[in-house]
């Protein structure tokens, strides 16, 4: 009888291990921090981060899915992130925030190596994990599968909306999995995203044809546009805000009942249990509201 109990216990443990349903986002902040207080400060902080010669100088987000035996680890990246050329030669100004670079999904083997290296100095990486139910996990796997099949990853850009088939930046790609699985809430959206009014005076292509010199932006871009001034509103997801929010929540003073502080891959982060929420029944892909945008879903 005792042997049978041990065998059943082992089988139960194996089944539990094979039925893990988790969505994990790994957050890497920019080395020097991105200063979004004004257009000029944004341009200067981007240059400082680039000149730091550290990896992921704009910050980054990885996505890991564990749905039973199906395991995925990926992220969105620019294949030819020639932003200096776009700023200095093509004079995009703040229009670069709407520019689509050539993009691609990252390979699991490369990400695992990078996470291992960053875990040795885990002041530059943390995570938020969401425990899912089977329906939520299946939906996330389907989304990633169709994302690949539809080649949505061929476009990489901060303003691109992944669920509209426009491609994505790394942070929008990560956030889209929370939307697809129905675990995004207003608290997370407010904490992880930011909205600014892009002054049209400093926005070159593709917002408008007229180019904007980088020096003009640096010396004159002292503030974002007011609501009554000509502007284009930009909402984006920030790896820096994601990372700093998790860092704050893992501190002893900020720990809450809504999540638990845990460790994964020797990294410190937080774990939410959202498995009680129903998987959304709506279509994964949203209607493309601008037919001129590249990468629309047909």
Q: What is the pLDDT of residue 81?
A: 73
Q: What is the pLDDT of residue 295?
A: 45
Q: Which two tokens stand for residue 197?
A: 């009014």
- Cα distance between residue 238 and residue 244, in whole Å: 10
Q: What is the pLDDT of residue 13?
A: 40
Q: What is the pLDDT of residue 67?
A: 97
Q: Which residues of the chain have pLDDT under 50?
A: 2-18, 289, 291, 295-298
pTM, to two decimals: 0.89
Q: Give the domain ranges of the chain.
A: 23-273
Bond preceding residue 206 cis, omega within 30 of 0: yes
Residue 59 near residue 240 (C-beta atoms within 8 A): yes
Nearest to 118 by CA among 56, 51, 172: 56
C-alpha distances (whole Å) from 12 to each of 6, 71, 125 are 10, 20, 33
The per-residue pLDDT for range 96-152, each reduced to its tens digit, is 999 999 999 999 999 999 999 998 876 799 999 999 999 999 999 999 999 999 999
Q: Which two tokens stand for residue 193?
A: 């995203």
Residues 6 or more apart whose CB falls under 8 angstroms from that of 259 comprise 249, 270, 271, 272
Q: What is the pLDDT of residue 253?
A: 62
- Cα distance between residue 25 and residue 11, in whole Å: 30
Residue 218 near residue 43 (C-beta atoms within 8 A): yes
Q: What is the pLDDT of residue 82?
A: 77
Q: What is the pLDDT of residue 86?
A: 81
């Amino acid at each position: 009888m005792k042997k049978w109990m041990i065998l059943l216990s082992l089988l139960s443990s194996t089944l539990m291990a094979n039925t893990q349903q988790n969505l994990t986002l790994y957050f890497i902040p920019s080395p020097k921090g991105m200063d979004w207080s004004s257009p000029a400060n944004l341009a200067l902080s981007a240059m400082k981060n680039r000149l730091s010669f550290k990896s992921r100088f704009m910050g980054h987000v990885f996505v890991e899915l564990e749905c039973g035996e199906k395991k995925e680890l990926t992220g969105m990246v620019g294949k030819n992130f020639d932003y200096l050329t776009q700023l200095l030669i093509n004079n995009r100004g703040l229009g670069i925030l709407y520019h689509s670079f050539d993009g691609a999904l990252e390979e699991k083997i490369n990400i695992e190596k990078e996470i291992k290296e960053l875990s040795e100095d885990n002041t530059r990486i943390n995570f938020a994990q969401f425990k899912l139910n089977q329906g939520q996990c299946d939906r996330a796997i389907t989304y990633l599968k169709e994302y690949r099949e539809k080649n949505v990853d061929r476009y990489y850009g901060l303003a691109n909306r992944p669920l509209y088939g426009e491609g994505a930046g790394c942070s929008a790609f990560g956030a889209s999995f929370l939307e697809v699985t129905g675990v995004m809430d207003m608290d997370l959206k407010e904490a992880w995203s930011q909205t600014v009014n892009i002054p049209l005076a400093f926005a070159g292509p593709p917002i408008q044809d007229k180019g904007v010199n980088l020096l003009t932006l640096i010396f004159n871009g002292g503030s974002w546009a007011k609501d009554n001034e000509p502007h284009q509103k930009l909402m984006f997801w920030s790896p820096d805000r994601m990372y700093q929010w998790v860092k704050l929540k893992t501190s002893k003073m900020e720990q809450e009942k809504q999540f638990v502080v845990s460790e994964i891959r020797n990294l410190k982060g937080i774990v939410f249990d959202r498995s009680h929420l129903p998987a959304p029944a709506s279509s994964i892909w949203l209607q493309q509201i601008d037919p001129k945008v590249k990468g629309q879903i047909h």
